[in-house]
Amino acid sequence: MKKPIALVTGAGSGLGKELAIRLSHTHHVILIGRRGKPLKELAALIHSHGSALAVPCDISDPDSRKELLDTLTKESLLPVDFVVHNAGVGRFSSVEDAASADLESMFQTNVFGPMALTKALFPYMKKQKSGTFLTILSTAALRGKSNESGYAASKFALRGYSESLAKEAEPYGIRVIRAYMGGMNTPFWENGDHVKDPSRFFQPSEVADIIMEQIDEKDEIIIESKK
C-alpha cells in the first residue's frame, strides 16, 4: 500500500528535522529547506527505516516555490497528505530599531510563503477530502513580546490565516493544527541579544515529541518555554 506523503518546510535542522524524522515512520517525507546538504544528510538518515526526498527550496521566493511544485508534479507526489509549515525567520530589535528589510524578510518567509504553498496544495486535499496542515507558530502569536514586534506581527498574521483556513477546510475533512511554542534551544536566537541563555529552553526533539503526542487529539497545541 502506498504511503501517505508528508511535506516539511525548514526540515534541515531543529524542530523541522525532528518532526520529519517522526513522520517518516508513517509517511514518505518531502524535505524542504534552503540548504541542500543538511536535507540530503537527513534523507540518508531516514532511508535507514523509511523514504524521503530532499528538495531545496526557499519558500519566500516565488520562482523557488514554482520549482518545488513542478518537482512534486513530475515525481507524482501530489496530493500531499500532511503539510508542516515550519520554516521561519526571526529578526529581533526594539520597535525604533526595526529595519524595513528585516520586517519584509520575516513576512515573506513566515507568512507569504506558507500562504502561497497552502493555496497550491489545498485544492488537491479538497479533491480527496482529507489532509492535514500543521502550522508551527509561536507563543509570540498569542501575545506580544519586547524586542519581537515584527516577529510577533508575522506570527499573529499566520495564526489568523491558519484559523481562517481551518474554517474553510473543515467541510472537506481537512485538519488545520496550530502549534504554539515558546523558545527552543537552537541557533534561532543568534539574530538577537534579548535571550541570554537559550540552553534553558526545550530541545527541538522534546518539542517534537510533545507535538506528536497531542496531534491526534488537539487542533491547538501550546508549549510554553521551559524555565
**Of residues 180, 6, 14, 147, the one with CA closest to residue 78:** 6
pLDDT at res. 193: 53
pLDDT at res. 202: 83
Whether the pLDDT of residue 189 is over 80: the answer is no
Higher pLDDT, 202 or 77: 77
pLDDT at res. 2: 85
CA 36 to mean position of chain CA atoms:
17
Over residues 92-116, mean pLDDT: 95
Distance CA 159, CA 135 (A): 8
The amino acid at 149: S
Distance CA 2, CA 201 (A): 38
The CATH code of the domain that includes 48 is 3.40.50.720
CA atoms lying within 13 Å on the CB side of residue 46: 28
The amino acid at 177: I
Over residues 98-116, mean pLDDT: 97
Q: Are the beta carbons of 20 and 47 closer than 8 angstroms?
A: no
Reply yes or no: is the peptide bond before residue 79 cis, omega within 30 of 0: yes
pLDDT at res. 225: 77
Q: How confident is the model at residue 182 (pLDDT cuts 50, 70, 90)?
A: confident
Which residues neighbour 97 within 8 Å (Cβ) at sequence distance 6 or greater? none
Long-range own/partner contacts, residues 211-220 (CB < 8 A, 24 or more apart): 211/19, 211/134, 211/179, 212/19, 212/22, 215/134, 215/177, 218/177, 219/166, 219/175, 219/176, 219/177, 219/178, 220/177, 220/178, 220/179, 220/180
- Residue 72 C-alpha cell reads as 512534486
Whether the pLDDT of residue 1 is over 80: the answer is no
Q: Are the beta carbons of 41 and 56 closer than 8 angstroms?
A: no
CA 52 to mean position of chain CA atoms:
17
Higher pLDDT, 111 or 225: 111
Domain count, the chain: 1
Residue range of the domain that includes 112: 5-223
- Residue 102 C-alpha cell reads as 528585516
Distance CA 24, CA 3 (A): 10
pLDDT > 90 fraction of the chain, expressed in percent and rounded: 81
Whether the pLDDT of residue 186 is over 60: the answer is no
**Of residues 30, 73, 76, 74, the one with CA closest to residue 50:** 30
The mean-pLDDT minimum among 123-132, 157-166, 192-201 falls in 192-201
Whether the pLDDT of residue 191 is over 70: the answer is no
pLDDT tens for 44-97 read 999 999 999 999 999 999 999 999 999 999 999 999 999 999 999 989 889 999
Whether the pLDDT of residue 198 is over 60: the answer is no
